[in-house]
């Protein structure tokens, strides 16, 4: 009998809806000076190098990170995301389009039939025959928040294609200074990236003269970065160059590209016990943060068709999930922000975030399975709960009563990897105002909904920054 401890769920991002990507063949790193940590391009060789194209996922021997091809600039060079986690030496083997393990705490993967019963009258007073008119493949999994293993799912939930995946900028230098008068970071060597979008978030570390210059900072919403200057929205303190300062930036914003996955579930303690769902698109992605608990989440899929193959699908072995730290609230919840300002005077108890979109199946005559599937508008909601205090009572109650829009965000970190979830405009939609019983604390518990708003010249509902 099957044991839940021996279930493995894995995913493979599809280049074409409903089609599991095939292996590309023999490919290797072709770079005598190797690929360094933080690089985002690689020169490749091998008999099948030219077959590696945009949307292909790959792993590199000795590196547990899963990468995706963003651009295919030539037969021998590709740009990829995220940035290289470790150095890749010349001739290191590249494996493409292998399924990647998804660590889960529970869930389901099944296919239900759509049925209709004939209305024909029978003289024997029995029901007429039942007919199958369609199928509804669906999957839903629970997980614990963990860097690396969820990045592609989060990107897909925000509907970004491989070409619009996590951006990347990182610099470490001793000639970076901070200037209070114009709230800017300045690089004497002009090493900043001019491609950092206005309104995005960067993470700064290394200032020792005034540590308040470190941490999450939002790039100016009106002034684009230059090679020598990044203006931010937050107040800075004058700090001269000379310290080893690091500034990193990597983010995604909600888009309109549709991504699908092949999902595979295997019972490892049974023989040839597989389930495979192709064309699975994410319909919801949620996070739940509760005091004194591990940060948990959930992801839901709607697919094209589920089958029961008798052998593993995809190329090569399933890539083992990255061994990053599971995030708990005590060690991981760094901060939350209101109106672009980090709030340190409110004691938060719990928070949740849900990214939802409605799956719209497309059906056609003579087809049991879907012939296509689109997604509706992205809908981002959540909740937040605070202890009721003088510091937060008036502000938050006024936001609710006046239906006032405000910026809201929160930051998570496992000490190495950091995420910042930022919504440029949210409104509070409810607050129960409940009085508890004996020996209970008074709480402020709000539900919120995010609206699209301007972020540096573009209208978006959410942006997620990720640095490591």
Lowest mean pLDDT among 56-65, 104-113, 415-424: 56-65
Residue-wise pLDDT tens digits, 295-354: 999 999 999 988 888 888 876 778 888 888 888 877 677 788 888 888 887 888 889 999
Closest C-alpha among 412, 250, 411 to residue 325: 412
Whether the predicted pLDDT of 73 surpasses 80: no
Q: What CATH code would you report for 24-96?
A: 2.40.30.290
Q: How long a stretch of residues is the chain?
A: 468
Whether the predicted pLDDT of 461 surpasses 80: yes
Answer for the pair 430, 399: CB distance below 8 angstroms, yes or no.
no
Winning range, highest mean pLDDT, from 32-46, 78-92, 179-193: 179-193
- The tokens describing 382, both together, are 């959540």
Q: Average pLDDT in the 45-54 region?
A: 81
pLDDT at 32: 63
CA angle (69, 71, 76) in 5-degree steps? 85
Q: Could you write out the DSSP letters of every residue in 375-418? A: E---EEEEEEEEE--HHHHHHHHHHHHTT--EEEEEEEE-SS-E
Proportion of the chain above pLDDT 70, given as a percent: 98
Whether the predicted pLDDT of 189 surpasses 70: yes
pLDDT band at 33 (very low <50, low <70, confident <90, very high): low
15 vs 53: CA distance, rounded Å:
9
Whether the predicted pLDDT of 261 surpasses 70: yes
Whether the predicted pLDDT of 177 surpasses 80: yes
- The tokens describing 27, both together, are 């490919």
Whether the predicted pLDDT of 1 surpasses 90: no
Name the residue ranges covered by the structural domains of the chain: 24-96, 138-163+255-467, 169-249
SS3 helix, strand, coil % of the chain, rounded to 5?
5, 45, 45
Closest C-alpha among 261, 309, 54, 15 to residue 141: 261
Q: Average pLDDT in the 230-257 region?
A: 92
Q: Count Cβ atoms below 10 Å from residue 154 Cβ, excluding itself.
A: 21
> Cα–Cα distances in Å, from 173 out to 9, 184, 297?
42, 16, 37
Residue-wise pLDDT tens digits, 349-380: 889 999 998 888 888 787 878 888 888 899 99
pTM greater than 0.85: yes
Q: What's the start-to-end Cα distance of the chain, in Å?
A: 42
Closest C-alpha among 464, 437, 462, 465 to residue 451: 462
Closest C-alpha among 420, 283, 407 to residue 340: 407
CA atoms within 13 A on the CB side of 250: 21
Proportion of the chain above pLDDT 90, given as a percent: 35
Closest C-alpha among 20, 39, 18 to residue 29: 39
Name beta bridge partners: 287. 297, 353
Mean pLDDT of the chain: 87
The one-character DSSP state at 155 is H
Q: State whether residue 152 is helix, strand or coil.
A: helix
Residue-wise pLDDT tens digits, 427-440: 988 877 777 778 87
Q: What CATH code would you report for 169-249?
A: 2.40.30
Name beta bridge partners: 353. 287, 382
- Label residues 5-23 b or e (16+ Cβ within 10 Å = b): eebbbbbbbbbebbebbeb
Phi and psi at residue 408, in whole multiples of 5°?
-145, 140
- The tokens describing 111, both together, are 């296919």
Lowest mean pLDDT among 53-57, 247-251, 298-302: 53-57
236 vs 212: CA distance, rounded Å:
7
Q: CATH topology of 24-96 equal to that of 169-249?
A: yes
274 vs 310: CA distance, rounded Å:
6
- The tokens describing 7, both together, are 């279930």
Q: State whether residue 281 is helix, strand or coil.
A: strand
pLDDT at 249: 87
């Amino acid at each position: 009998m099957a044991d839940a401890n021996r279930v493995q769920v894995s995913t493979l991002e599809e280049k074409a809806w409903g089609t599991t990507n095939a292996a590309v063949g023999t490919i290797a790193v072709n770079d005598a000076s190797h690929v360094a940590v933080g690089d985002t391009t690689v020169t490749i060789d091998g008999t099948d190098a030219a077959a590696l194209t945009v949307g292909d996922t790959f792993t590199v021997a000795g590196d547990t990170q899963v990468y995706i091809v963003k651009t295919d600039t030539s037969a021998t060079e590709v740009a990829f995301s995220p940035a290289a986690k470790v150095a890749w030496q010349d001739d290191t083997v590249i494996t493409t389009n292998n399924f990647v393990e998804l660590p889960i705490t529970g869930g389901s993967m099944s296919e239900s039939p759509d049925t209709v019963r004939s209305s024909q009258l029978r003289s024997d007073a029995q029901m007429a025959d039942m007919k199958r008119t369609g199928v509804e493949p669906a999957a839903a999994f629970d997980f614990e928040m963990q860097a690396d293993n969820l990045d592609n799912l989060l990107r897909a939930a925000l509907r970004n294609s491989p070409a619009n995946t996590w951006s990347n900028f990182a610099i470490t230098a001793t000639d970076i200074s901070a200037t209070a008068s114009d709230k800017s970071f300045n690089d004497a060597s002009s090493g900043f990236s001019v491609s950092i979008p206005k309104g995005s978030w960067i993470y700064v570390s290394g200032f020792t003269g005034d540590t308040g210059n470190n941490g999450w900072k939002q790039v100016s919403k009106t002034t684009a970065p230059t090679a020598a200057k990044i203006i931010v929205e937050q107040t800075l303190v004058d700090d001269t160059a000379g310290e080893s300062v690091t500034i990193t930036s990597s983010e995604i914003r909600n888009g309109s590209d549709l991504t699908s996955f092949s999902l595979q579930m295997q019972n490892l303690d049974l023989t040839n016990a597989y389930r495979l769902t192709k064309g699975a698109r994410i319909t919801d992605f949620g996070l739940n943060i509760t005091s004194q608990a591990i940060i948990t989440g959930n992801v839901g899929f709607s697919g094209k068709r589920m089958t029961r193959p008798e052998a593993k699908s995809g190329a090569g072995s399933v890539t083992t999930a990255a061994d990053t730290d599971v995030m708990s609230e005590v060690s991981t919840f760094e901060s939350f922000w209101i109106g672009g300002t980090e709030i340190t005077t409110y004691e938060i108890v719990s928070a949740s975030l849900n990214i939802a979109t409605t799956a719209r199946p497309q059906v056609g005559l003579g087809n049991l399975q879907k012939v296509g599937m689109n997604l509706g508008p992205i809908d981002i909601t959540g909740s937040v709960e605070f202890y009721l205090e003088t510091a937060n009572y008036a502000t938050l109650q006024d936001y609710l009563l006046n239906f006032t829009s405000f910026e809201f965000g929160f930051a998570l970190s496992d000490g190495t990897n950091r995420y910042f979830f930022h919504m440029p405009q949210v409104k509070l939609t409810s607050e129960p105002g409940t009085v508890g019983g004996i020996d209970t604390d008074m709480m402020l518990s709000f539900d919120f909904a995010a609206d699209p708003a301007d972020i540096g010249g573009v209208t978006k509902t959410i942006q997620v920054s990720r640095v490591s």
